[in-house]
Structure 1
Amino acid sequence: MAVRPRSSSVARSLRHLLAEVQQAPFVVDGLRSGDRLAAAAGRERGPAPVRLLEAVIDEDDELTAVAAVHALARVVDDGADAVLAGLLSHPRAFLREHASWALGSRLPALDAIGRLVEVVVGGGFSGVLAQRTLARWAVSAPAEVALAVEGTLAGAAGAAGAAGAAGAAGAAGAAGPVVRSRLVETLGLVPGPLPGPSLVAFAADPGEHPSVRLAAVAALGDRPADLGAVAVVRRLSAAGGDLGTVAQLAAVDLGIDAVGRGEAGSGLTVAQLFLHADVDRDLSRAGAGDNGGVATLLVRLGDALAERPGVGRVLTLSRGTPRAALDGLSSGEGHLLTPVPLLTEPVSAAQAWPSRVAAERGIRRVLRTHHADVLHLRMAEVGSLAAAEVARELGIPVVFTLAPDPHAVIHALDMTGALHRGNFGSEDEREHYWFRARLVQRLAADAAHVVLFPRPELQHDMRELLGLDVAAQPDRFTVVPEGIDLGVSAAAAAQVERSGPPGPALADLDALVATLPEHRRRLPLVISVGRLHRVKGMATLVEAWAGDPELAERCNLVIVGGDLAEPSPDEREQLDLISGVLERFPRAAAGLLLPGHRPHDVVAVWLAAARAGRVDGPGPDGVYVCSSLKEEFGLALLEALASGLVVVGPAAGGPATYIEDGVTGVLVDTRRPDEVARGIRAAFGLASAPGQPQRVDRALTRIRADFTVQGMAERLGAIYAGAARAAERS
């Protein structure tokens, strides 16, 4: 819709930039135009720009509506406060969400505090944004925020009690503790003495729900150590279960426990994190939930970094129980796994934003206890958000791996028609594209050094997707490829080649293949390893294979990944899509194997077996397929190449820098099932062509030269040392 100014006082540039957002050819262009619109709005005063921006918020163009909300937050006029406060009650959830965020950049609006508390009660990502705004406002209006939260807490208690008395404790009673713990956590963010007595009372009350008590005890650890807080924390530290352990962690935070006052390590202490993984030394959860390539990388990289000269300690932070977190505070050298207790059930990265406060608290404790010198962040998720805040507070330099994410996903979905300006707001509710894009910008701007993935057209992609000119500041940016441990692939190949009874990994694969119809058991495998998430394109792969009858009869398809016993919402969505494909192509179902996730070392053995074949298992000369909608690098692809498999991967992003199209693999447009099918057929041709030893040697030579985890550790070690030295000088 064309925009007509309502007043000549509205600057021409503001009208022009609003039209630019409305006419942006792609969603990522609209995001960048939204930044320019907000900057222009910050130069405007009075009611005219407010009317101009308000007029487009209720249009069908959801992308422009979001941009207008954030532009309103920059206008110098009380009318903007009124519009934003009104949006907190808007029937469209994405507008409530963005208004909760936008208000955080303005002075406290007393009439909006109560509505923000209501948004906190509603929970989800909107509740996180409202909570952040209330915490900012509480710096200058602590009494108003504290009283509003305490008043809502009193009402929540009364509502839960009434529901129980009426015999309707089902929904209301179940929601009561969740809401109350969230409100108690919010109360703990209010500075000053006012919230202290209430938090002590919640923590000490044996009649309170355990989750509420946990929230109160944890909050006491972040506050000044007054006598009441110290007394209740000391007393509860002797309690059993999570309450006692969280109280012990709070005692560390208060400085009344000896833990946390240890000595710095003998060399550099490097911290890295991914909070959405269940990281263990054996990588036993690899492929389940969000336990993907990043979790595997951090374990292998942490081990390699710890062996570097000048590095005394590597801290890998991931989610864990309070007890594991307390144990992780013990001093030590080398590579340490240091869990962060999020005090909730494990959820996906997209759903984990409500863990922000707990994440910030746990990260602060680890970094302070182990005297971290430098922190490496990756991706725009709640762990990076929380850790960046802590690093800023503690003066720890940050190295940030900048990938065009979510920008590359946004653009890929835009090109398929799944994301557009008409549905941007509703899709943003689920994936938080606007917030994550802004978080990437902030992390890159604040980082002491920025690491980039190799891409065929790196400077072009950074400019087009992020609006970033990496050539203008070459000293701030370094391209560092990710790497794999070739020792894992070599050990896997040795297991496959060894005579005698098969080990557990091979026996597992043989048993899996034995479930196939007899006539299919000797067929070669098409194997893919990864999380069951729509970005990974597993349903597209099934459609490519099943939709080509000749291909489906030629090979079996094995997709390794996902928690099939308790699938997450993302996993359930992909499993449903795969079921839908098989309903359309029922004959292919006999050749599809979905074993769920397997430990990383087991997967390495399966890759080696897919190439060599098994006497009582799959035939030889299988191929590996990565059908990701976008893949910044692709560690599983590298591991498949190292195992000797021909690979099929996306023609965009990192894989195009190491897959030699037509030699070691095939590059395809992974958005199209017919292209993926073409790639698989071509890969089988490469796998059976003459000169197989030369092909495998060519792939291994490339990996040894540029893509080992040891080489990655060497490059990053130099970057970390430089960032730490610069921080000391400043």
Structure 2
Amino acid sequence: MDLHETLLHLHETPFILDVLRAADDLAGSVDRFGSSSIDELRALIRDESDSLMAIAAVHALARIYDDEAELELSELLSSDRAFLREHAAWAFWTRLPRLDAISRLVKGVISGGFTGALAERTLQQWALSTPDHIALAVEGALAGESMPEPRARLAETLGLIGGRVAGRALCYLASDDEEFPVVRFAAMAALGDRSGDNECLRVVQRYAELPGELGDVARLAAYDVELALNAPRRARLADDSATVPRTAGLTVAQLFLHADIDRGLTKAGAGDNGGIATLLVRLGDALLLEDGIDRVITLSRGSPAASLAALPGEHSWLPGLTNPPEERHILAPVPLLTAPTSTASAWPSRIAAERGIRRALLALGPVDVLHLRMADVGSMAAATVAAHLGIPVVFTLAPDPHGVIHALDMAGTLTRAGFGAVDEHEHYWFRTRLVQRLADQAAHIVLFPRPELHSDLRELLGIDIEEKPGHFTVVPEGIDVSVIETALTEARGRVSEPQTTTTTTDPFEQLDSLVRALPSNRHGLPLAISVGRLHHVKGMATIVEAWAADPHLRRTTNLMLVGGDITNPSADERGQLDRIEATLAEHPEARDGLILAGHRPNDVVARWLGAVRFGTPAGTSLGTPPDPPLIAPGGVYVCGSLKEEFGIALLEAMAAGLVVIAPNGGGPATYVVDGVTGFLVDTRDSAGIRAGLSDAFALAAAPEADVQQRVAQAQALIRDEFTIHAMAHALTRIYRDVATAPQGPGTAGSGSSRTEYAQ
């Protein structure tokens, strides 16, 4: 179609997702070597009634090789609409360097955020052809910038530029005792990528001998230098091993960089430490029980010191660096050199993520397969590293953010006019393109089960499984059933044999304390529990709205939310807490029955699920036993997620014997039997959740024989199909096939080292 036909089609396209997918049609219909299309694209960009089309026009403008188009793009870098600045910085990635745009991109780096990350990425690309010019522009900006965070971003950008100008500036920044620590960290980390610069090596070696965090960063940089110097030897060993039949098992790497993953899962539910953190720890352990898997490397965020402790090798000139204990499931922290932030805000961590992932995979490798999940900065960085190292990628593909976009579109809360403002925070346009890029790169794609899987993928992602069926495998997630079974045994035991003494560290006593703090008239009521992050996608505030607005529910039940950092909430957590507070202001009587428990370790949550089912009998708490019991039996589990690709917490609740309320789409619809083991509801507003809560409490109060039959049905389903060991077994077959297959189109090692996510 020509430009006019394409514009007509896009204007008449009813759904936002369809416009996102068809945006390339607009870019393909412009006059690429003339100015005839510019006026129409300019009009679209300036039309504030349709920001969705404005974004599409920016990327179409980048396809026109004309000075007028470049000038328009450059001007957009200074637009008063932030989303246009963001997409212009992104679009310039495919263009040749332009002098007036360089200074504006540098200003974007200074401003930070997602726009800064895109501007930095474009400058990195442009520096391949004009390194000194870019370096001098960044140096000039440093001379005029006095705040630590912008200076750190500029130092990091210098680290992406080759040549002596950038190297000299980095050495100065890293060595300057008067410089802000965060700036010195960024500069020192970058020196590890300059193994051919003797002055940089001298700075690294000098500071690697010193204690403290700067010394830790220098020691990591020294490790990077050593890895680079040993690269030819590793390449020869890799070539030799390629001709030798495999005798050892596989080494599989997996990651989630937005979590602080520890073996005890003590931070589960805080910030972005959701179910994926729990899954990766238990999945890694389960994979090691499979034939053919020798090692699992789980990467998450962590400090420079923690990263050093996980690295192998003896380096006598690097104090404090020793061989870690032999572990088959290795937890490898990746230092992002910034304070923990939400997934939506973590894109500026791309460079630190790439550097840390590359270091871990090289040092702990050779890695046979890298499994990526989610379209986030960690997967983006890891995909880039995998492409450079020739590591095949398995990608778990889900319609995310596609499902959220579609749900918001259908609810009328995401419109074409308001898309740009929402995209500034959620980066929907970028993330949908990243999903496509990761899918294209993957050697194999894992899918979650969905009721209408084939049609959903066609409608939401534009992917037809039937075109390449051997490339896709449906693998349900799973839980460690033994953890739930132990928790149920303990919870049931408290009912049959009440204890007169407990300790404050006992999970059940912790729960009792939370309920005991409620007014006495709230004691003895059944409990609705929800476990998850305090994030708008998880719908925690909507659950409170649903429960609080129903007089019968709030009078006869209590509600407990488990998750989030209540003491020091992130921006996302604060948003949910503010919504909850607004609901309590509207329904003040609900305050007496609401418990905000904050995040708790997974093992504690498992025991709480048991207590919600069986209740807390009199005589089980410290001091004088309460009368009536603190918690009545017959509680329920409620999930208010806007979308749930599968639902680990839901599976755990079902395994614990609770009636569950779940979203009526995505993964839960494949295992929740509506009206039997739970209720599938529309979670986009509180009405569906409210109805689900009423129905769930009624079902939980059914005669004991009916309860036993329901629980047996749910538990049998999970034992048969949704255990962590079944998941590990299915993935092992995929990993083995991918690792032994010859690399060709669609594998990580076959693509260009230049990784593009925009087009």
Report the TM-score, using the length of structure 1 for normalisation.
0.93
Match of 1:59 in 2: 47
Asked whether the equivalents of residues 316 and 335 of structure 1 are also in contact (C-alpha less than 8 Å), the reply is yes
1:703 has 2:698 as partner: no
Match of 1:246 in 2: 217
Greater mean alpha carbon deviation, residues 105-114 or residues 550-559: 105-114
Gaps of 5+ in 1: 1-11, 161-175
Counterpart amino acid of residue 688 in structure 2 = E
Match of 1:189 in 2: 160
Asked whether the equivalents of residues 259 and 329 of structure 1 are also in contact (C-alpha less than 8 Å), the reply is no
2: CA distance between counterparts of 1:24 and 1:294? Answer: 35
Asked whether the equivalents of residues 227 and 363 of structure 2 are also in contact (C-alpha less than 8 Å), the reply is no
- Between the two proteins, the alignment pairs up a number of residues equal to 700
Match of 2:178 in 1: 207
1:290 has 2:272 as partner: yes
Counterpart amino acid of residue 306 in structure 1 = L
2: CA distance between counterparts of 1:392 and 1:259? Answer: 19
Match of 1:136 in 2: 125
Deviation at 1:222, TM superposition (A): 1.2
Counterpart amino acid of residue 54 in structure 1 = R
Match of 2:315 in 1: none
1: CA distance between counterparts of 2:743 and 2:428? Answer: 36
2: CA distance between counterparts of 1:75 and 1:127? Answer: 24
Q: Residue 573 of structure 2 is aligned with which of 564, 571, 575?
A: 571
Asked whether the equivalents of residues 227 and 362 of structure 2 are also in contact (C-alpha less than 8 Å), the reply is no
Match of 1:678 in 2: 691
Asked whether the equivalents of residues 452 and 477 of structure 1 are also in contact (C-alpha less than 8 Å), the reply is yes
Q: Residue 415 of structure 1 is aligned with which of 406, 410, 414?
A: 410
Q: Residue 395 of structure 2 is aligned with which of 400, 419, 437?
A: 400
1: CA distance between counterparts of 2:24 and 2:570? Answer: 34
Task: Choose between structure 1 and 2 for higher RCO, CA contacts under 8 A separated by at least 6 residues.
Answer: 2
Q: Residue 356 of structure 1 is aligned with which of 350, 354, 369?
A: 350
Match of 1:712 in 2: 727
Counterpart amino acid of residue 692 in structure 1 = V
Match of 2:191 in 1: 220
Match of 2:93 in 1: 104
Q: Residue 552 of structure 1 is aligned with which of 551, 554, 566?
A: 554
Counterpart amino acid of residue 414 in structure 2 = L
Deviation at 1:146, TM superposition (A): 1.1
Deviation at 1:356, TM superposition (A): 0.7
Deviation at 1:259, TM superposition (A): 11
Counterpart amino acid of residue 591 in structure 1 = G
1:321 has 2:310 as partner: no
Q: Residue 454 of structure 2 is aligned with which of 459, 467, 479?
A: 459
Counterpart amino acid of residue 566 in structure 1 = N
2: CA distance between counterparts of 1:300 and 1:430? Answer: 32
Greater mean alpha carbon deviation, residues 684-693 or residues 110-119: 684-693
Asked whether the equivalents of residues 492 and 610 of structure 2 are also in contact (C-alpha less than 8 Å), the reply is no
Deviation at 1:373, TM superposition (A): 1.4
Counterpart amino acid of residue 398 in structure 1 = V
Asked whether the equivalents of residues 252 and 258 of structure 1 are also in contact (C-alpha less than 8 Å), the reply is no
Deviation at 1:141, TM superposition (A): 1.4
Deviations 1:619-640 (A, max 9, x none): 0011100011111111100000
1: CA distance between counterparts of 2:489 and 2:29? Answer: 63
Greater mean alpha carbon deviation, residues 118-127 or residues 146-155: 146-155
After TM superposition, list the pairs within 5 Å mapping 1:294-693 onto structure 2: 294-330=276-312, 332-371=326-365, 372-498=367-493, 499=497, 500=499, 501-502=501-502, 504-616=506-618, 617-690=630-703, 691-693=706-708
2: CA distance between counterparts of 1:373 and 1:354? Answer: 28
Match of 1:72 in 2: 61
Greater mean alpha carbon deviation, residues 684-693 or residues 256-265: 256-265
Match of 1:33 in 2: 22
Match of 2:755 in 1: none
Deviations 1:671-714 (A, max 9, x none): 13122111111112221223211111111111112111111011
- The SS at the match of 1:271 is strand
Asked whether the equivalents of residues 286 and 725 of structure 2 are also in contact (C-alpha less than 8 Å), the reply is yes
Match of 1:168 in 2: none
- The SS at the match of 1:338 is strand
Deviations 1:78-123 (A, max 9, x none): 2221111110011111100100000001122222111111111111
- The SS at the match of 1:312 is strand
Greater mean alpha carbon deviation, residues 268-277 or residues 71-80: 71-80
Deviations 1:128-171 (A, max 9, x none): 00000000111111122111111111222xxx3xxxxxxxxxxx
Asked whether the equivalents of residues 396 and 727 of structure 1 are also in contact (C-alpha less than 8 Å), the reply is no
After TM superposition, list the pairs within 5 Å mapping 1:245-284 onto structure 2: 245-255=216-226, 266-284=248-266
Q: Residue 109 of structure 2 is aligned with which of 96, 120, 125?
A: 120
Counterpart amino acid of residue 649 in structure 1 = A
Match of 2:33 in 1: 45
Q: CA RMSD in A?
A: 1.8
CA pair 713-259 structure 1, distance change in 2 beyond 3 A = farther
Deviations 1:367-402 (A, max 9, x none): 111111111111111101111100001111111111
2: CA distance between counterparts of 1:554 and 1:599? Answer: 28
- The SS at the match of 1:56 is helix
Asked whether the equivalents of residues 204 and 232 of structure 1 are also in contact (C-alpha less than 8 Å), the reply is yes
- The SS at the match of 2:101 is helix
1: CA distance between counterparts of 2:690 and 2:183? Answer: 53
Deviation at 1:266, TM superposition (A): 4.2
Report the TM-score, using the length of structure 2 for normalisation.
0.90
Asked whether the equivalents of residues 131 and 163 of structure 2 are also in contact (C-alpha less than 8 Å), the reply is yes
